[in-house]
Structure 1
Amino acid sequence: MPHDLWLRWAFDPFAAILMVAVLGVWLVSGRRDSFGRSALGAALALIFVAFFSPLCGLTTALFSARVAHHVILIGIIAPLAAIALPWRSGPLLPLSALTLLNALTVWLWHAPSAYEWATVRAGPYWLMQLSLLTTSWLLWREVLSPLARTGAALIALVAFIAQMGLLGGLLVFAPYPVYAPHLATTAPFGLSALADQQLAGLLMWVPAMAPYLLAGLWLVLRLTNAVPSHRRQGLSR
């Protein structure tokens, strides 16, 4: 409820295990320079915010909060983890397959029936969270790898942005609310269930794309810097 939202800090043992696991993997094979340590610290801090702070409690009331939670998970925590735990032995799957896998995972857990199932018990809930995080980390791990082909990485980012925009658009323009767990939980926050769903679609449509656009810009700059200066001068003539 809005009046006691900021008191809803809670300890989640599964989230604590996740944080310990990420730290343990980093100690074994993580990136140890200052950039890697900073990425690890930021990822752990955001996992704490996502699963211990009132934001996690708010996701039980508002679908838009759940979408914001997922955006933090797949668009911020996952790339930070990919920086802290970088590309070592090569991709498990081709980049196109990783993009498709991540996109299918996002669509699966935002299907109304699967979403409702995931909000009933801790097991399905953490299956949703871990599958979203893992598939996103695999994609970001490949996209951010210095060994990745820039063109293929840019295509992967554009494809992921397109499918996320499509899903967001469907939520924005749906004529009625489709997420049963939130039909009776949004009114105390001044939102109808449909307005809450539309807000979730807008979050997925616009802000969620920002990390992918920034990564694409970084790839373009990296490609530009990789071209020798004499070739750049020749191309500009």
Structure 2
Amino acid sequence: MTILSFQPYCGPAPQPGAVWAAWNLDPVLIGALVALAVVWGMTWGRGASTRERLVFGAGWSLFFIAFVSPLCALTSALFAARVGHHVAVMTLAAGLLVLAAPRARLKRLFGGRSLLWSATAAQAVLLWFWHAPAAYGWSLTGDAQYWIMQASLIGAALMFWRGVRLAPIQHGLLALIATMVQMGALGALITFASEPMYAPHFATTLAWGLTPLEDQQAGGLIMWAPAAGAYLAAALILLMRRVGFGEAGAGERIA
């Protein structure tokens, strides 16, 4: 039996009294975030509306919070925090970055076809894969492994939200509902597991007043309710837009 040595990118699990000092000041990461803001400002940001600038700023800020703030270190201690981290990055930050991009340029960048269903399937497969105990544990054994996980999840999420934005609204609705259902199912499976499954957190949760199983159940509930609910909220927004278009026709897309 191989015993994995966990070396999470965000650093060792902090104690409750020290978490607010546990900022991730990785210069490569901070440089990448700064470069993202500069590149966007010099390209798509030119001529962007105030709304698009605000949306991009919100998405960028969520990436900063997820990877630089103490939330990053907290994910080393609690599975529930890592689930919240994934929700912030995949559901909110990725969606906001796609929404901030000019629609015509977004379409040209990735080609004319939205490939919505391929992106929906890929995101679901990757989400379930990285929450399998073995894959989850492997992703926390080194920096490269961690970023393989993050890059695949973020890339799939960007393509998913791009597909939702470019596809006809009724297709976007179906993709959002399908994502909500599969994410809720994964959350329920994690919540009702009879024993803790995520070895990186077996020795890190008690300091936070949780057993490993209670921490896992909290993470499952986050995925089951708020995370899945975010896709339901996006579907309702699309539905309201569709109703508001009235005579707009079946092929109308989100702006």
Please report the TM-score for the alignment, with normalisation by the length of structure 1.
Answer: 0.90
Deviation string, structure 1 residues 185-205 (Cα, Å, up to 9, x no partner): 100001000000000000000
Task: State the AA in 2 paired with 1:199.
Answer: A
Residues 1-237 of structure 1: pairs in structure 2 closer than 5 A: 1-26=15-40, 27-30=42-45, 32-85=48-101, 86=103, 87-89=106-108, 90=111, 94-145=115-166, 148-228=167-247
Paired letter, 2:221: L
Distance, in Å, in 2 between the alignment partners of 1:180 and 1:209 is 25
Contact 2:77 2:205 in 1 (8 A): yes
Q: Give the Å deviation of 1:93.
A: 5.6
Amino acid across the alignment from 1:102? Q
Q: 1:111 to 1:92 in 2, by over 3 A?
A: farther
Which has more helix, going by share of residues? Answer: 1
Quote the Cα distance in structure 2 between the aligned partners of 1:163 and 1:115: 18
Shift of 1:107: 1.0
Look up the equivalent residue of 2:36 and give its one-letter code: V
CA offsets 1:86-128 (integer angstroms, 9 cap, x no match): 4322466621111001111111111111111111111111111
Tell me if the contact between 2:126 and 2:153 (Cα under 8 Å) persists in the aligned partners.
yes
Q: Which moved more, 1:37-46 or 1:169-178?
A: 37-46
Q: Distance in 2 between matches of 1:226 and 1:210?
A: 24
Gaps of 5+ in 1: 232-237
- Post-superposition Cα deviations, 1:188-223, rounded to whole Å, max 9, x if no partner, equal 001000000000000000011232122111111111
Post-superposition Cα deviations, 1:166-191, rounded to whole Å, max 9, x if no partner, equal 10001100000011111111000010
The residue matched to 1:206 in structure 2 has which SS?
Answer: helix
Percent identity, aligned pairs only, is: 42
1:91–1:142 CA contact under 8 A, matched in 2: no
Aligned length in residues: 228
Structure 1 segments, 4+ long, off by >6 Å, are none
Q: Is the 8 Å Cα contact of residues 176 and 194 (structure 1) preserved in structure 2? A: yes
Counterpart of 2:253? none
